[in-house]
Amino acid sequence: MTDTIIILISFFCAISFDAFADSQQYWYDLNKKSLNMILRHVFQSLMVLSFFLLFIVKQMDLINTLCYLGSYILLRFAVFDVIYNVSIGKKPEYIGENSIYDKILKKVFGDNVFGKSVLMAIRVVALIGGLYLIQRVLPI
């Protein structure tokens, strides 16, 4: 496996574990089962482990680390909400009601089909940008 593939897998695992952890809070709030909170902590631990293990295993210089950090931020913006929404039974393009982040997204993009389409298009651009940053440092 190339370094680029390993990094992509690490980032997507971290983002997915983080989204699943947040979804467990949603399910806990809904049905008050302690298993959901246990799963939330397990997913959060896996997220931290999968993200930081990469930096421990690979000894990277500052420029590469910054590129990977930028890539992670773009990839997280691109896929976190989609994974979270699907894991709680919502449509991928759903924008929540509670967090400040969701309120900002609704204010900027609105809660209509056009605004959500623009947001999804920006997520695709962020996905491409994140992949580009990884590929820039470690060509496939």
pLDDT tens string 27-81: 777 777 777 677 777 777 777 777 666 666 666 677 777 787 788 889 888 998 8
Closest CA to 135 of 78, 70, 82: 70
The two structure tokens encoding residue 22: 């947040």
The pLDDT value given to residue 35: 72
Domain boundaries, the chain: 3-137
Share of the chain above pLDDT 90, in %: 11
CA–CA separation, 107 and 105 (whole Å): 5
Closest CA to 53 of 97, 17, 100, 95: 17
For residue 140, pLDDT beyond 80 = no
The pLDDT value given to residue 104: 85
Model-level pTM? Answer: 0.69
Residue located via tokens 């500052």: 62
Rg (CA), the chain: 16
